[in-house]
Amino acid sequence: MESIIKISYLGPEGTFTEEALMQYVELLCGKKKDLTEKYLIEKMAIATIPEVIKSVDRGEALQGIIPIENSIEGSVNLTQDILTFESEVKIIAEIAIPIRHYLIAKPTK
């Protein structure tokens, strides 16, 4: 029988945060070969950073995936403020996502 591990993340589906969640799960499965046999990972897309953190604080999710820094804007102040002043949750891992954007257009005649 499988146990369910709920992991919340800053949604909606298709975000870079969901990509980080998938990389985290792959990392866990690589370290613990039997993880997917014993556990079912349930992804919980949540609309805001504060609500992701609250979902872990309240025990609705075992873990949460949130952005803490990006290469253009630097630190995500909202995340750091909540983790520092409003929550008991702690950072336990880091997943770096290389992001590339491309400008596309139709060729001109």
Give me the pLDDT at residue 40, please: 82
Mean pLDDT of the chain: 87
pLDDT at 78 over 70: yes
* Residue 36 counted as domain residue: yes
* Residue 68 counted as domain residue: yes
CATH classification at residue 60: 3.40.190.10
* Residue 70 counted as domain residue: yes
User: Whole-structure pTM over 0.75, yes or no?
Assistant: yes
- Banded model confidence at residue 50, pLDDT cuts 50, 70, 90: very high
Residue 91 and residue 102: Cα distance in Å, rounded? 32
* Residue 104 counted as domain residue: no
* Residue 8 counted as domain residue: yes
Give me the pLDDT at residue 100, please: 81
- Tell me how many domains the chain contains: 1
Question: Residue 64 is part of which domain span?
Answer: 3-85
Most confident of 24-28, 44-48, 97-101: 44-48
* Residue 55 counted as domain residue: yes
Share of the chain above pLDDT 70, in %: 90
Give me the pLDDT at residue 1, please: 53
